């Protein structure tokens, strides 16, 4: 039997090490390894005596109807959950401090309670009076939410076990502590243990448990990655500080499509839903200007139009700036390299700034063509046609690859008044009546057709 050793755990990936090190071998992160009390030791003699009880096994063809989902009535939230809250599911909502997690979940608790669900909100960060005051300010004072302020896991579980609510919200997982673990609240072992207990409770009692988790500066939920694996659904609440808009994005969902987004606006009266995000993200667009291209994207199951903005200026630096906000910077470097190598359009000696308007984040490769168009338009100081959207993936050879759901993208563009689209030649479908479709096989022809001689 191995002698019990103090475990050293990486806070980024959850890997355990026998001794402290500056760098985690498993994930390569620096300064993330911390010392923890050893996990409780099992019998340690293997499972030779096998005293367990048999697990009931069943076939795949069971006819159980899927349990009804609980809808909050906040459509943007229900959509991100995959159509509502599944009873007995565990959900983690992550986000930067101050982004609006507590506000969102208080509004959600009130909405669930008003639609006839039993909802309990446990705050470990604020006193009940504070939460009540906020609820009143948000006009939720009359919602039948049951409120508690507690951080001791044992007391919380005892309460939940007695009340058996339909939904329990725990704000936040970093404030909870279990008396079984000798470590401070917020430490890896506490977060892991308390999350595990709450997820187990959810499965056993059929209560949907929503955990709030703060994220670290690196953008990960503080505590080990294992918490993300334990829960059924991981949602991130994102947004730029300077913007009103907040995006709730499903990173993982066992009960619905990942990458689904819900869009909210932070107002004086709390978060309000944004039913038409495309109109919102394009609302700041004025006259056509160089460096602006409209991308017809798909977020989850719904088309969303966004504006990609580029600025290209002579650089005084030896290695020019590449500042990218809202897009994948690796992707942008690739596009710059393809423009240089395949179309002979160099960006050496030029600073490049790229941004997605409205604080939106775009991860689809389908945005490649719009990014290239914005870059070229900025470099050539020529505006793209104002009524034109673009989409298409750029391969390393400079060819344009078709992307999925072309028709949905075009329909959304038409709905918002766009009458022209530039897309890869191989795109399936006929296009829409009343919309001019320009099909291009590769980046070189796109440059020639749109900006004159490349
Ligand atoms: P909060 O929900 O406390 O954030 P989190 O739980 O993610 O830390 O939100 C805090 C911010 O939201 C705060 O800076 C003020 C702003 N806010 C509004 O603008 N309007 C409102 O109605 C509320 C309740 C908060
Ligand atoms: Mg909070």
pLDDT at 181 over 50: yes
pLDDT at 249 over 80: yes
Atom of ligand 1 nearest to the CA of 171: 6
The strand order across the sheet containing 292-299 reads: 322-325, 350-356, 302-314, 292-299, 388-390, 420-424, 436-440
pLDDT at 31: 83
pLDDT at 406: 93
> Closest-lying ligand to the alpha carbon of 124?
2
pLDDT at 118: 95
Per-residue pLDDT of 147-157, as tens digits, reads: 999 999 999 99
Is 224:14 a contact under the CB 8 Å cutoff?
A: yes
Among 92, 97, 100, 110, residue to substitute to test ligand 1 (most atoms within 8 Å of Cβ): 100
- Identify the residues whose C-beta falls under 6 Å from ligand 1: 95, 97-103, 134, 138, 266, 268-270
The whole model's pTM is what? 0.81
Q: Determine whether the annotation assigns residue 272 to a binding site.
A: no
pLDDT at 219: 61
pLDDT at 117 over 90: yes
Q: Per 3-state DSSP, what percentage of the chain is helix, strand, and coil (rounded to 5)? A: 30, 25, 45
Q: What does the block give as tokens for 346?
A: 């160099």
Is 83:256 a contact under the CB 8 Å cutoff?
A: yes
Per-residue pLDDT of 201-234, as tens digits, reads: 999 999 999 999 988 766 666 665 678 889 999 9
Q: What does the block give as tokens for 452?
A: 């004159």
């Amino acid at each position: 039997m191995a002698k019990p050793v103090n475990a050293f755990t990486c806070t980024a990936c959850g890997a355990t090490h026998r001794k402290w090190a500056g760098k985690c071998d498993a994930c390569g992160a620096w300064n993330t390894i911390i010392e923890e009390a050893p996990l409780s030791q099992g019998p340690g003699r293997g499972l030779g005596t096998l005293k367990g009880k048999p697990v009931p096994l069943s076939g795949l063809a069971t006819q159980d109807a899927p349990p009804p989902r609980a809808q909050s009535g906040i459509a943007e939230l229900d959509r991100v959950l995959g159509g509502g809250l599944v009873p007995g599911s565990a959900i983690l909502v992550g986000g930067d401090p101050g982004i609006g997690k507590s506000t969102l979940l208080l509004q959600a608790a009130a909405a669930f309670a008003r639609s006839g669900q039993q909802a309990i909100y446990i705050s470990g960060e604020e006193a009940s009076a504070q939460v009540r005051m906020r609820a009143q300010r948000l006009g939720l004072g009359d919602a039948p939410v049951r409120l508690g302020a507690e951080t001791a896991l044992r007391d919380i579980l005892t309460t939940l076990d007695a009340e058996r609510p339909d939904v329990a919200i725990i704000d936040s997982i970093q404030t909870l502590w279990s008396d079984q673990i000798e470590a401070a609240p917020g430490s890896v072992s506490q977060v892991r243990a308390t999350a595990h207990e709450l997820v187990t409770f959810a499965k056993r009692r059929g209560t949907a448990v929503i955990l709030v988790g703060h994220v670290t500066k690196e953008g990960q939920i503080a505590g080990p990655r294992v918490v993300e694996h334990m829960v059924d659904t991981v949602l991130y609440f994102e947004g730029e500080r300077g913007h009103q808009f907040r995006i709730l994005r499903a990173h993982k969902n066992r009960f619905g499509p990942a990458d689904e987004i819900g869009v909210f606006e932070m107002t004086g009266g709390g978060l309000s839903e944004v039913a038409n995000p495309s109109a919102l993200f394009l609302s700041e667009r004025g006259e056509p200007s160089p460096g602006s291209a409209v991308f017809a994207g798909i977020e989850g199951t719904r088309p969303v139009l966004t504006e990609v903005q580029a600025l290209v200026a002579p650089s005084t630096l030896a290695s020019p700036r590449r500042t990218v906000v809202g897009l994948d910077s690796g992707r942008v470097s690739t596009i710059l390299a393809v423009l240089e190598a395949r179309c002979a359009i160099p960006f050496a000696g030029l600073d490049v700034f790229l941004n997605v308007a409205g604080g939106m984040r775009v991860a689809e490769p389908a945005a490649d063509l719009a990014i290239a168009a914005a870059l070229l338009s900025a470099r050539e100081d020529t505006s793209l046609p104002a009524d034109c959207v673009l989409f298409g993936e750029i391969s390393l050879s400079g060819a344009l690859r078709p992307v999925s759901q072309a028709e949905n993208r075009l329909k959304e563009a038409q709905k918002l008044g766009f009458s022209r689209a530039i897309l890869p030649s191989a795109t399936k479908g006929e296009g829409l009546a009343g919309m001019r479709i320009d099909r291009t096989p590769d980046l070189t022809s796109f440059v020639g057709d749109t900006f004159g001689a490349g």
